[in-house]
């Protein structure tokens, strides 16, 4: 998973500004999705959906009383980011599901589902952890850019620094994890920091414009994908491994690059640029090379899909919102009409088929047909009042069901 990588930032998604030959090759070896969405327009909600297979709004988040005073105070001051302090310990995670099915589980990279030690990823089903628990680190010093602004670089349960550029270190650990686990089933969640700010290239002293550094960061991310895929090939695991690549929300890029092109909006927005992001799935022998899908897919679909592949049984005591997308990946179906929801602060949108209604609080603001009008230029709210009313009703019912946390 890339962090804040936009829809228009890869060669295979028509970028002419960034060179991503390895990710383009991955796409050519499998299926590229044009209508994949992150569950959130920000990091933490999407990561919660990835972990739980549920809408982040349905997840149980930690109470203030569970936080140490310093984090409680930070959360009080930063309500829109209140989720970053953690999901409840009894949430079922994709790591736990696969761990219980005999998979070795590793998180290499960013967690961002709790800063306090008790919400450490190894308490949520990961056997191993290398990386950082916060929203972003300095790529060279590995000091957190938010929260306590202290060293945030972990070897399992221990904070321990080391020299190196974050993207390169995570790549090294990812390959090491694959090598050590080549003879047994494994689940590797490689959650890169790039190209999330701070915009820093590989050479700490090199000075260049932010946009040049930003492109370099995506190109190093691309190198990482190439090295990981090469390791799988070298170890003869490529035909027994499903590789998925996606972003956690739209780009928030420096001026001078069309990172979310052709979409409007960016990270944090309910416009497509906030949450329609790249998603590629490759599995030689199971997914047809060079295929493209316009099925509507969301981050929360990974848990039910992976659980199905691992033969895991999901407990009946909780609502899983995601869907198993294996029939789409193996070309048995092209996808069906779905109703999907997004919510950030009091901004929201709802999709049914090609129709998208977005609004703020109780007020619907725009109705667009994103199949015909991907750039959201034409607001059809006044032309189709009944359609808008129906979508608004779906949104209202959903809010009432998930509890609008
Ligand atoms: Ca992000």
- Ligand 1 centroid from CA 132, angstroms: 14
Cα 153 to Cα 226: distance, rounded to the nearest angstrom: 24
Mean pLDDT of 1-8: 98
Residue tagged 């550029």 (tokens) = 165
Alpha-carbon distance 60 to 52, whole Å?
Answer: 10
Reported pTM: 0.96
Q: Give the tokens for residue 272.
A: 């497509």
Number of compact structural domains in the chain: 2
Q: Give residue 143 CA to ligand 1 midpoint distance, Å.
A: 18
Residues 93-102 pLDDT 10s: 999 999 999 9
- With cut-offs at 50, 70 and 90, classify the pLDDT of residue 153: very high
Lowest mean pLDDT among 35-49, 100-114, 330-344, 349-363: 330-344
Q: Is the pLDDT of residue 325 over 80?
A: yes
Distance 193 CA to ligand 1 centre (A): 8
Active site residues: 43, 112
The verdict on 372 and 397 lying in the same domain is: yes
- Average pLDDT over the chain, rounded to an integer: 95
The alpha carbon of 40 and the centre of ligand 1 are apart by a number of angstroms equal to: 9
Whether the Cβ atoms of residue 112 and residue 44 lie closer than 8 Å to each other: yes
Which residue among 335, 353, 369 closes a domain?
A: 335
* Together in a domain, 401 and 283: no
Establish if 238 belongs to a structural domain.
yes
| Ligand 1 centroid distance, CA of 43 (Å) | 4
Q: Is residue 94 part of a domain?
A: yes
Residue 332 — pLDDT band, cuts 50, 70, 90?
confident
Average pLDDT over residues 237-265: 98
CATH of the domain at 357: 3.30.1120.10
CB atoms within 10 A of CB 162: 9
Residue 3 lies in a domain: no
**Is 2 domain-assigned?**
no
Does any domain span residue 320?
Answer: yes
Spacing, Cα 196 to ligand 1 middle (Å): 7
In a domain, 258, yes or no: yes
Distance between CA 195 and CA 213 in Å, rounded?
Answer: 9
Three-state DSSP state, 365: strand
* 215-225 residue pLDDT tens: 999 999 999 99
Q: Separation of 134 CA from ligand 1 center, angstroms? A: 11
Q: What are phi and psi of 169, to 5 degrees?
A: -65, -45
Any domain includes 329: yes
Stretch 273-282: mean pLDDT, rounded? Answer: 98
Please check whether residues 280 and 342 belong to one and the same domain.
no
Domain span at residue 117? 11-335
174 CA to centre of ligand 1 in angstroms? 20
């Amino acid at each position: 998973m890339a962090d804040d990588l936009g829809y228009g930032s890869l060669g295979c998604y028509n970028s002419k500004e960034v060179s991503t030959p390895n990710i383009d090759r991955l796409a050519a070896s499998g299926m590229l999705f044009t209508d994949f969405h992150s569950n959130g327009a920000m990091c933490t909600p999407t990561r919660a959906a990835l972990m739980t297979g549920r809408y982040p709004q349905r997840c149980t988040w930690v109470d203030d009383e569970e936080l140490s005073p310093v984090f409680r105070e930070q959360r009080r001051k930063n309500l829109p980011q209140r989720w970053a302090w953690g999901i409840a310990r009894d949430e079922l995670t994709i790591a736990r599901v696969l761990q219980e099915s005999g998979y070795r589980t590793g998180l290499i990279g960013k967690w961002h589902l709790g800063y306090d030690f008790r919400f450490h990823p190894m308490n949520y089903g990961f056997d191993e952890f290398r990386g950082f628990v916060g929203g972003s680190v300095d790529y060279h010093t590995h000091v957190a850019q938010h929260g306590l602004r202290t060293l945030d670089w972990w070897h399992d349960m221990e904070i321990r620094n080391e020299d190196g550029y974050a993207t390169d270190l995570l790549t090294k650990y990812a390959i090491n994890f694959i090598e050590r686990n080549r003879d047994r089933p494994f689940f590797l969640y490689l959650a890169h920091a790039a190209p999330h700010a701070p915009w820093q290239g590989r050479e700490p002293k090199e000075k260049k414009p932010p946009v040049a550094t930003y492109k370099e960061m995506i190109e190093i991310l691309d190198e990482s994908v190439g090295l990981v895929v090469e390791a799988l090939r070298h170890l003869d695991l490529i035909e027994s491994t499903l590789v998925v690549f996606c972003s956690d929300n739209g780009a928030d890029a420096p001026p001078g690059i069309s990172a979310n092109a052709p979409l409007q909006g960016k990270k944090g927005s309910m416009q497509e640029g906030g949450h329609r992001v790249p998603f590629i799935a490759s599995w030689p022998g199971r997914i047809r090379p060079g295929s493209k899908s316009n099925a509507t897919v969301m981050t929360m679909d990974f848990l039910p899909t992976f659980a199905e592949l691992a033969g895991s049984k999901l407990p009946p005591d909780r609502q899983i919102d995601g869907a198993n997308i294996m029939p789409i990946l193996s070309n048995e179906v092209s996808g069906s009409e779905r109703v999907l929801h997004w919510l950030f602060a009091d901004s929201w949108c709802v999709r049914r088929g090609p129709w998208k209604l977005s609004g703020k609080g109780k007020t619907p603001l725009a109705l667009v047909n994103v199949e015909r009008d991907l750039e959201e230029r034409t607001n059809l709210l006044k032309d189709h009042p009944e359609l808008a009313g129906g979508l608004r009703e779906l949104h209202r019912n959903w809010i009432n069901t998930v509890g609008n946390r």
